[in-house]
Structure formats: structure tokens, C-alpha cells
């Protein structure tokens, strides 16, 4: 995966997590799952730096 594609995925995931948090508690399974996915993407991005 290229750096630019990864950045796009990070942004999409971040927006998704924000939308989910509007409808669910921050400690709900869906929000936590989205946050974990975002963490994985960010960790992958940091390998490029």
C-alpha cells in the first residue's frame, strides 16, 4: 500500500469513527472496533516515516 492510499484510508476511518461516536457511546463495541482499525492504519503509516 502506498503512503498516499494509506493516508486516505486513515482519513476515511477517522471520519467513520467520528460518525459512529455521534450515535454510540465512546465505549461501545462499534466505536472501539473502529478506533482499533484506525490505530492499525496509523501504525502502518508510521512505518513509512
For position 49, what pLDDT does the model report? 79
Name the nearest CA neighbour of 27 among 35, 19, 16, 15: 35
- So where are the chain's domains? 3-46
pLDDT value at 48 more than 90: no
3-state secondary structure of 49: coil
Residue 4 binned pLDDT confidence (cut-offs 50, 70, 90): very high
Q: How far apart are CA 14 and CA 28, in angstroms?
A: 16
Q: Which three cell numbers stand for residue 23?
A: 450515535
Q: What is the pLDDT of residues 12-46, one digit of tens each?
A: 999 999 999 999 999 999 999 999 999 999 999 99
Q: Which three cell numbers stand for residue 9?
A: 484510508
Amino acid at each position: 500500500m502506498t503512503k498516499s492510499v494509506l493516508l486516505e484510508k486513515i482519513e476515511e476511518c477517522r471520519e467513520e469513527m467520528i460518525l459512529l461516536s455521534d450515535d454510540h457511546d465512546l465505549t461501545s463495541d462499534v466505536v472501539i472496533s473502529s478506533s482499533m482499525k484506525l490505530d492499525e492504519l496509523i501504525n502502518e503509516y508510521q512505518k513509512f516515516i
